[in-house]
Amino acid sequence: MSGFEMRAQFYPLVTDLERLKEEAAEGVPYPFITEELLELSPKGYRQFCSALGQRYAFETDIPKEGYDTAKGAFHCSLVTTASEKEAILLARVAGQMFGAYLPDKALLDLVDVPKKQVTLEPCMCSVGKGGRLAAVR
């Protein structure tokens, strides 16, 4: 939707969606730009929401530096399902993952946003120099 700036309350990823909603509610809303839509199955999305603190393989595709200081906005991946109204925004800043709950993704203009089907494969990641995640091959 052009004409106004979308904002969400980002918070370092916690254990589950309920805690993310609770913790982020106290935060300040930041502008964000949706870079990609990551679509899970309904079962996968429920599992993801109940274990946000876990690391999954699809997270390695999330931009390495998700905060644009010039624009003052998070560059995010939107995690959802085709059938759900809600979604979770994910951004990585300084090697740490941040999330924001979005109660209605229909508010976003996602027409030109690339969409990718993903699964909840565990991340074969390690923490490298500077605390950043690196894929282990």
Between CA 108 and CA 100 the distance in angstroms is 14
Helix (H, G, I), strand (E, B) or coil at 131: helix
Q: What is the pLDDT of residue 131?
A: 41
User: How many CB atoms within 10 Å of residue 135?
Assistant: 12
The helix (run of H) or strand (run of E) holding residue 43 is helix 42-50
User: How many CB atoms within 10 Å of residue 65?
Assistant: 13
Q: Which residues of the chain have pLDDT under 70?
A: 1-4, 125-137
Strand partners, 75: 33
Q: What is the pLDDT of residue 126?
A: 55
